[in-house]
Chains A and B, each alone.
Chain A
């Protein structure tokens, strides 16, 4: 079992859909990823195979209309709030180049499902959530682990998740106003940089 507490920042690139101006960064701001849970085992000393699950939280993207509504409520005297959440989950394999050394470099490949949500609300008068779901075709990762003891390691890492959203759902005031396939899907990328701890590496 790998428990992977980490802290990372994740940046959006590419397009959410091929619709005009529908860039990933226009929908979602950068995300803070406070943790990742990994469950798996080493098949051999060099090779780890397992599942991953992580959640990122952040602000709204750079779309002007969205920002205008979100920023209309930035004063202390109102309750307009905007947020975004991303989820990645799937399976991955990681190859460790020097599994017995105190410093170990590793690379990984994974694939799974992904989801991203935006939310705006204002003290119960209006509430809107837009969620996109799809597939991460490639989760490419790499990093360095510095082992401080037999059961504990830490080091920097980078993850590039390449995916495509295929399904969209919108709720307004808790009513589903649309749920269906995205007509014109596009490829996107989340790039994450961070520091992770590995317990029982």
Chain B
């Protein structure tokens, strides 16, 4: 085992710590929360958080049973979020830019329900 200059070793580790640990940056993908509330009871029937993909072409697709035969399909790409309801003609679509402005509420949800897309949440565990 060789002896090394302690000042040199201290300086070396100090320099490495500055390079390696200061100001680390991460991907930090956006997240979006889908909340579907039954108006009559204020009960949240769906409350799920998902990542918005970073890569062009990536997709998150999930299907949620709300009540009886009412089901919602959530589709998230890196630039938009879409919510479709079985049998409904209207699609609730929000761009990433609109979502960045804050919570978006579906203008024409299924009767008796409120549908919201809320930016910023902690993604659900699988």
**Which residues of A pack against B, CB within 8 Å?**
16-17, 21-22, 26-27, 60-61, 63, 65-66, 69, 72-73, 75-80, 118, 120-123, 125-126, 128, 130, 132, 168, 170, 172-173, 175, 177-178, 180
Contact = CB atoms under 8 A, between A and B. Distances in A.
A73 B27 contact: yes
Question: Interface of chain B, helix or strand or loop or mixed?
Answer: loop
B27 A125 contact: yes
A27 B79 CA distance: 14
B54 A72 contact: no
Contacts of A80: 25-27
B25 A130 contact: no
A163 to B, nearest CB: 15
Interface string B74-112: 000011000000000000000010000000000000000
B27 A122 contact: yes
Counting contact residues on chain B (CB < 8 A from A), the size range is 20 to 34
B29 A170 contact: no
B57 interface: yes
Given A78-B23, A128-B51, 10 more contacts: A65-B79, A77-B19, A120-B27, A120-B55, A125-B27, A170-B59, A170-B60, A177-B51, A177-B58, A177-B59
A172 B60 contact: yes
A69 B29 contact: yes
Contacts of A118: 55-58
B126 interface: yes
A175 B57 contact: no
A72 B56 contact: no
Nearest to A80: B27
A16 B77 CA distance: 15
Interface in B38-89: 50-51, 53-62, 78-79
A77 B27 CA distance: 13
28 contacts: A21-B56, A26-B56, A63-B56, A65-B56, A65-B79, A72-B25, A72-B28, A75-B25, A77-B19, A77-B20, A77-B21, A77-B25, A80-B25, A118-B55, A118-B58, A120-B27, A125-B26, A126-B54, A128-B58, A130-B57, A168-B59, A170-B53, A172-B51, A175-B126, A177-B50, A177-B61, A178-B58, A178-B59
B35 to A, nearest CB: 19
B23 A130 contact: no
B24 interface: yes
Contacts of A180: 61
Contacts of A22: 56-57
A177 B55 CA distance: 13
Contacts of A132: 57
Contacts of B27: 69, 72-73, 80, 120-122, 125-126, 128
A172 B25 CA distance: 19
A121 B59 CA distance: 16
Contact of A73 (B26, B57, B79, B96): B26
Q: Which 4 A-B pairs have the closest CB atoms?
A: A178-B59, A63-B56, A130-B58, A177-B60
